[in-house]
Amino acid sequence: MLNTIGLWLAIRIFGTGYSAEEVDAGFWILILAGLTFSIVNAVLRPIAIILALPAILLTLGLFTLVVNGAMVWIALKLAPGISMKFFYAIITGIVISLVNYIVSNVFDFGMPKRAKQVEE
């Protein structure tokens, strides 16, 4: 769901690439695009990171933004009804990462803090 919210936010900010005619259809298209992005990110991203490792090391990690953008672009090519240029896909990857970071820190998902484990 966080990927869907990030996609929706990026599409609303940039106002590009969204071609759904009805609000209900647009909602389901965004849900499908978020699900597709999650699957592409889980399957292809580790392979892309390994293949791009020399470029990532050379740019001190900045090439990871391009890899994230490629994952968004591939996911949106697979999802019907949404099209986006590669440059906007890179920026959308940044927006999705920020949304995931903010929401996960606000709701404190994941493992307990190490300090809590030490006290027990």
pLDDT lower than 50: segments of the chain: 20-24
What per-residue confidence (pLDDT) applies to 47? Answer: 95
Q: In the chain, which residue ranges form alpha helices assigned H by DSSP?
A: 2-14, 23-43, 45-51, 53-58, 63-78, 86-107, 114-119
Q: How far apart are CA 93 and CA 70, in angstroms?
A: 9
Q: Can you give the residue range of the structural domain that contains 64?
A: 2-119
What per-residue confidence (pLDDT) applies to 111? Answer: 57
For residues 96 and 6, is the Cβ–Cβ distance under 8 A? Answer: yes
What per-residue confidence (pLDDT) applies to 2? Answer: 78
Tens digits of residue pLDDT in 103-114? 878 877 555 665
What per-residue confidence (pLDDT) applies to 17? Answer: 52
Number of domains in the chain: 1
Structure token digits, residue 55: 């470029």
For residues 115 and 22, is the Cβ–Cβ distance under 8 A? Answer: no
Inter-CA distances, 119 with 58, 83, 114, 115, 116, Å: 41, 50, 9, 6, 5
Structure token digits, residue 12: 């609303």
20: left (phi over 0), alpha (psi -120 to 50) or beta: beta
What per-residue confidence (pLDDT) applies to 84? Answer: 81
